[in-house]
Amino acid sequence: MLDFIKFTPLLISTTINHYLNGPPRPSWDLKFHTTWALYRSMFSQPSSSKTFEQMQKDSFLLSPVPAGVMINEFKINNKYRHEAQVHLEKILKPYEHVLDTEWKDLKDDGINSEWIQVPNDGWEKNEIKKTILFLHGGAYIFYNKESHRDIISPLVKKANARALVIDYRLAPQNQFPAALQDALAAYLYLLNPPKDAGFEPLDPKNIVIAGASAGGGLSLALGLAIRDAGLPSCAGIIGWSPFVDLTYSTPSLSDEKCLDYLPIVKGGTNDYIESQVIKEFKEKAAVLTEKIKTQNLGPKIWHDSFDRPDGRFQFYAPNEGLAIPYVSPMLAESLGDLPPLLLIAGDDERLRDEAIYFAYRSAEPTKYKGPSYNAGKFEKSPFQTPTNTTLEIYEEMPHVFQMVGHVCTTKSYESTVEFINKVTSALNEPLPPSSYNCINGKGEFGPLKEHHKKVLELEKIGIVPEFTGVN
């Protein structure tokens, strides 16, 4: 729970400023303005004030059960992780020389999971058992399955669906591909549940994979893994403010004009005070880096910009693995032949540009072929069919704006529910062609603005920029 007493001065000053000077954006009401200010204050606080363990624990929100839904908690057996491991080992073969193998050593007895559903929804008897596999956000290092209940519950109610939400393993304690393994295990669970699960194996065309922020990136990474492993495809994938480029190469991440509550990205993992978790992470990272650089275990699959004298750039994966498509899906050799995609982002958020670039690369794979260091690889890819992609950029909206009430929030839910209903329909009607949309503060749809398309001209996609202020 938030300490509202601590934030009372901020809330008072924001309220006064709202009425004296107006909101930062015309469409923001007082509730939106104060919520944004609250989030901005929380995310801008220096990480040196708490240990990483404390920050991680604070992010594990004990959210109450939202009105109108019920929660059923359970564990997904580790046998599904073992099945996922078999598939991942095949598709990760080209990258295994830059990965720590510890992800295979399971330290628990299963994946903590929960179903979010409307009571007495009759889901088991439905011909189409609409199911959302939802992956939470948190930069792969924070939050848990409970923290996104408030934004998942409206989807469950509006789409007449059930949502499966999991506690995938977090970094830095668990390195890539641990989170992907858990996500794939959950998908395999839905396709072939145990006898006591309470439901029969699901038709993959009844399943939509969805996520917010890092969960959106993980959803798209999971889609790539399913495609590349030759597994049955789900009905569609939804990314709300998806984090798909861990090289931080797109301009909006450092755009001072963006009014996001997320701070401008500076990069690096050295901003945290020394603690047991950080100490163990640094020791293991140093050993892996030395192993990669000195033992010549495989081809160099990283760009020179990934070599950083200040150490690891991300907690989730080694610098040498940042371009692995299941780490940074935007950098995949091809984004063709994926199930239909719905990508939603705010115009004022840091991750805006990567959502835009991902959308164009998936819908027009022969035109937008990814990083310069992957030149020629698309032509060898078996996945060249354009992916049906719908992109929606909402003006004046920050990162994962679905957390705050606004007409744009309402519109984004409407689009998401409409997408779920279309891709899971038994009618198999053709979807509308791929589209790129801008929605204004009144909820009115139009084409993208010129500043949205500037990222398409960027020549340094997938190249780690030079950051100032990195320790």
Q: What is the pLDDT of residues 345-356, one digit of tens each?
A: 999 999 999 999
What is the residue range of 33's domain?
Answer: 4-45
Q: What is the pLDDT of residues 253-290, one digit of tens each?
A: 999 899 999 988 766 677 788 899 999 999 999 999 98
**Mean pLDDT of the region 430-438:** 96
CA triple 186-387-366, angle to 5 deg: 130
Question: Residue 183 is inside which H or E element, if any?
Answer: helix 178-191
Give a yes or no: residue 267 inside a domain.
Answer: no
Q: Are residues 174 and 30 in the same domain?
A: no
Left (φ > 0), alpha (ψ -120 to 50) or beta: where does 176 sit?
Answer: beta
Angle between helices 78-91 and 214-229 (to 10 degrees): 70
Q: What is the pLDDT of residues 303-322, one digit of tens each?
A: 999 988 878 999 999 999 99
Checking if the pLDDT of 73 tops 50, the result is yes
Task: Output the pLDDT for position 264.
Answer: 82
Mean predicted lDDT score pLDDT of the chain: 93
Q: Which residues are within 8 A (CB) of 54 and not within 5 positions of it... i.e. 6 or more apart?
A: none
**Percent of the residues in the chain that have a pLDDT greater than 70, as a whole number:** 96
Q: Are residues 211 and 359 in the same domain?
A: yes
Task: Output the pLDDT for position 1.
Answer: 44
Radius of gyration of the chain (CA): 21
Checking if the pLDDT of 229 tops 60, the result is yes
> Could you give phi then psi for residue 435, rounded to 5 degrees?
-150, 155
Contact predicate 467/266, CB 8 Å: yes
Give a yes or no: residue 311 inside a domain.
Answer: no
Q: Are residues 341 and 436 in the same domain?
A: yes
Task: Output the pLDDT for position 310.
Answer: 79
Give a yes or no: residue 63 inside a domain.
Answer: no
Checking if the pLDDT of 448 tops 90, the result is yes
Angle between helices 178-191 and 78-91 (to 10 degrees): 120
Task: Output the pLDDT for position 193.
Answer: 98
Instruction: Please tell me whether residue 170 adopts helix, strand or coil conformation.
Output: coil
Checking if the pLDDT of 81 tops 70, the result is yes
Q: What is the pLDDT of residues 400-419, one digit of tens each?
A: 999 999 999 999 999 999 99
Q: Are residues 22 and 132 in the same domain?
A: no
Task: Output the pLDDT for position 466.
Answer: 82
Question: Residue 71 is inside which H or E element, if any?
Answer: strand 70-77
Look at the chain and report how many structural domains it folds into.
Answer: 2
DSSP codes of every residue in 2-67:
--HHHHHHHHHHHHHHHHHH--SSTT--HHHHHHHHHHHHHHHS-GGGS-HHHHHHHHS--PPPPT
Q: Are residues 41 and 93 in the same domain?
A: no
Q: Are residues 79 and 192 in the same domain?
A: yes
Give a yes or no: residue 469 inside a domain.
Answer: no
Give a yes or no: residue 287 inside a domain.
Answer: no
Q: Are residues 29 and 120 in the same domain?
A: no
Q: Are residues 443 and 408 in the same domain?
A: yes
Checking if the pLDDT of 470 tops 50, the result is no
Give a yes or no: residue 82 inside a domain.
Answer: yes
Task: Output the pLDDT for position 214.
Answer: 98
Q: Are residues 92 and 37 in the same domain?
A: no
Q: Are residues 30 and 86 in the same domain?
A: no
Checking if the pLDDT of 5 tops 80, the result is no
Give a yes or no: residue 293 inside a domain.
Answer: no
Give a yes or no: residue 61 inside a domain.
Answer: no
Task: Output the pLDDT for position 4.
Answer: 60
Q: What is the pLDDT of residues 47-56, one digit of tens each?
A: 667 889 988 9
Q: Are residues 233 and 358 in the same domain?
A: yes
Domain harbouring 183, CATH code: 3.40.50.1820
Checking if the pLDDT of 471 tops 50, the result is no
Task: Output the pLDDT for position 48.
Answer: 60
Task: Output the pLDDT for position 378.
Answer: 93
One-letter amino acid for residue 24 of the chain: P
Q: What is the pLDDT of residues 387-398, one digit of tens each?
A: 999 999 999 999
**Mean pLDDT of the region 452-464:** 95
CA triple 126-127-128, angle to 5 deg: 90
Q: How confident is the model at residue 469 (pLDDT cuts 50, 70, 90)?
A: very low
Q: Are residues 129 and 33 in the same domain?
A: no
CA-to-CA dists, residue 155 to 164, 236, 294, angstroms: 12, 15, 50
Task: Output the pLDDT for position 393.
Answer: 98
Q: How confident is the model at residue 331 (pLDDT cuts 50, 70, 90)?
A: very high
